[in-house]
Every structure is written in C-alpha cells, then in structure tokens.
Amino acid sequence: MLVTFAALVPTALAAWLVWQVVSGPGESEPPKVLPAPGQSSTVSPSPQDGTASTSPAPSKSEERSASPSKSKASKASKAPAKPAGGSGPLRGKVVVIDPGHNPGNFQHASEINRSVNVGNGSKECDTTGTSTNAGYTEARFTLDVAKRMRTTLERQGATVQLTQDGGRAWGPCVDERARIGNSAKADAVVSVHADGSGEGNRGFHVILPASVRAGAADTTPIVKPSRDLGERIAGNYLKATGQAPSNYVGGGTGLDTRSDLGGLNLSKVPKVFIECGNMRDSQDVGRLTSGAWRQKAAQGISEGIVSFLGG
C-alpha cells in the first residue's frame, strides 16, 4: 500500500537546502547534452536487440514527440483511458505515464526529425534520447520505470495509460503525447526521462510548465496544479530514492520551469516531466542502471501522484 506524503514537500525542501550548502549552487539554465570525452555524439542501435551500442548519446533537445501518424505504429496510443472499476484510493482516477523517447527511434530518423508545432514555436517530432557511456539508453530506462509505475498505480485503483509501451516502431511525437493525455481527460500526466549532461552534473529535477499562450498552447489553467503535482513528486522521489536534487538545474530546488517543451505547452491537464538523473555522470549511472533502484524511482514518482490525487 502506498503512503500519501502530502506533508513531505516542506521537509524535502529543507533537505534540499542542506544538500545545496554542501554541493554548491546549481545553474538556472537547462543543460545541454555533452558527449563523453573522446566519444562521438551519436548512439547507434545494436544489431542484436535494436538498443544502443557503446557509442554514446545523441543530443536530447527536449522530448520527445511525434505527431499522429496513419501507420500502425501510432494506432496503439489512441484509445482514451476509461475510469477504473477496481477498488483502491485512486478508483476513478486516470493517470497517463509518458515514457520519454522510444527504443526504435534510432531507426526512424526521418520520422522523428520532422518539425511539429508546439504553440510558441516548433520542435522535432521526437528524439532518440541519451544513453550511458556503456550504451544503456534513456528509452529503455524510461519504459522500464513507466511500466513499474503502471503496476504500482493500478494496485491503488487508478486507470493507467502509457503513451507508448514498446509496441510501436517510433515516437509518438511530442504533440501526440500531449493529445493522449488530453483525450484521456487524465487527472495527472508524468513524462519520465533521464538527462544527458556532463560528468559531475548529477541529481534529479522536475520540469514544470511555464505560462504559455500562443497558437494551440494555453497552459494558464494547468500551471498551478502542475506545480503542486511537481512539488509532491519531487518530495516523494527524494525520500524514496535518496537521489539529491540537481546540482546544475533549478538552483538546488529540484524544480525547473520551461516554456519550450511541446509535451507541456500543449497539455490541457496537469502535467510535469521528471529527469530522474544524469546518464552521463558515473555516480548517477550506478543508480539508473540498477533494477532495484528503478523500482524505488517508480515508487517515489507514484507516491507523488497518489499524494496529488488525494489517495
């Protein structure tokens, strides 16, 4: 049974301040992806399993997205979630989990590189994401954590939908990811990621939607509830995993507000991203590549969602 940690955030924030005194100030700007020294900036899929080889990490611009396609690949994500009929504190609640990227994106460069409108600009449909130096990809990480979250939340009675569960060839695009949450009338949406910054940059951060009103984007109604969701996730994630807030984004708070992510700009329901750690830092990698630790990550994010939904 999950425990609701509604009162955890103030404690967690106090812990962040203590940690920040030890580790120094973080940067306020989002990091750029840096390849490891002496290595190329492209990850090649392995011929055996379609995941990355030991050549690391392409730049991850954002997310992540894919506009709707008429191919079989896109049809799997279109059915809206229906309220759960099971018992539990989240009975009747709908949660959409968005595993960042897709393991198959490496083989579909033309599809994921095309531009989609995100309200106040345009972004790539999706990206390949980053990877560890040893070739463990962000797409594999996010899908694993998302499936663990689904199991945890369904046990609480929630109806859970993933934007992709590994059954489609690529994507979806960032605008489609937003539409999936909107169509489901989700009570909460969380997009799961891992960062690709440089060695020495470590820790997690939760990305909140900025106030954006442009084109199809109007985040005004979701800014406040999304912040509440993000703060609860940050506090519970810190408690469950022991992962410190980012020392390079968010000024030690573990929170970052952005206006350039289509998955947030186009959302009509409360939504946040979480960068669970940095896949390019040797200390964080030890956690991100551990199945036992990924279970803690899934638990912490899920407990934040439960707290937000009042379960």
Query: Which of the following is catalytic: 62, 111, 231, 275?
Result: 275
Please report, as a single letter, which amino acid is at residue 255: L
User: What residue has token string 């962000």?
Assistant: 138
Q: Which SS3 state, helix, strand or coil, does residue 213 take?
A: strand
CB-side neighbour CA atoms (13 Å) of 124:
19
Return the C-alpha torsion angle 24, 59, 63, 6, nearest 10. Answer: -20
d(CA 48, CA 282): 26
Q: Which SS3 state, helix, strand or coil, does residue 294 take?
A: helix
Question: Strand pairing of 159-162 and 271-278?
Answer: unpaired
Distances 110 to 20, 43, 125, 161 between C-alpha atoms, Å: 42, 16, 10, 27
The values of phi and psi at residue 257, to 5°, are: -105, 130
> Does the active-site annotation cover 124?
no
Residues classed as catalytic: 275
